Amino acid sequence: MRTEIFADQPEMDSRAAGFIIRRAARAVERRGRFALALAGGRTPLGVYGLLQDLPWERSHFFWGDERCGPKEHARSNYRAALAALNPPADLPRANLHRIQAELGPRRGAEFYTRRLREFFGPDGAPVFDLILLGLGADGHTASLFPGDAALTSQALVLGVEPPEWVTPRLPRVSLGLAVLNAARSVLFLVSGAAKAGAVRSILEAAPQAAEAPGALVRPAGELVWFLDAAAAGQLSRRPGASPCESCHSNSHDEGD
Ligand code: 6PG
CA 39 to the chain's CA centroid? 4
Per-residue model confidence as pLDDT tens digits over 154-166? 999 999 999 998 8
Closest ligand 1 atom number to CA of residue 189: 15
Ligand 1, atom nearest to 143 Cα? 10
H-type helices in the chain, by residue range? 9-31, 45-48, 77-85, 105-120, 177-180, 196-203
Residue 210: which residues within 8 A CB-CB, separation 6 or more? Answer: none
Rg over alpha carbons for the chain, rounded to the nearest Å, is 17
pLDDT in tens, 40-67: 999 999 999 999 999 999 999 999 999 9
CA of 146 to the centre of ligand 1 (A): 14
Q: What is the phi-psi region of residue 122: left when phi exceeds 0, alpha when psi lies from -120 to 50, beta otherwise?
A: alpha
Calpha distance 101→71 (Å, rounded) = 7
CA of residue 212 to ligand 1 center, whole Å? 14
Closest CA to 85 of 65, 57, 56: 56
Instruction: State the maximum Cα–Cα separation within the chain, in Å, rounded to a whole number.
Output: 51
CA dihedral 31, 34, 37, 42 (to 10 degrees): 150
Q: List per-residue pLDDT tens for the chain, 256 residues long.
A: 999 999 999 999 999 999 999 999 999 999 999 999 999 999 999 999 999 999 999 999 999 999 999 988 999 999 999 999 999 999 999 999 999 999 999 999 999 999 999 999 999 999 999 999 999 999 999 999 999 999 999 999 999 999 998 888 999 999 999 999 999 999 999 999 999 999 999 999 877 767 899 999 999 899 999 999 999 999 997 654 433 334 434 333 444 5
Task: Determine which residue's CA is closest to atom 15 belonging to ligand 1.
Answer: 43
Ordered DSSP codes for 217-246: ---SSEEEEEEETTTTTT-SS-TTSS--SS
Ligand 1 geometric centre to CA of 29 (Å): 31
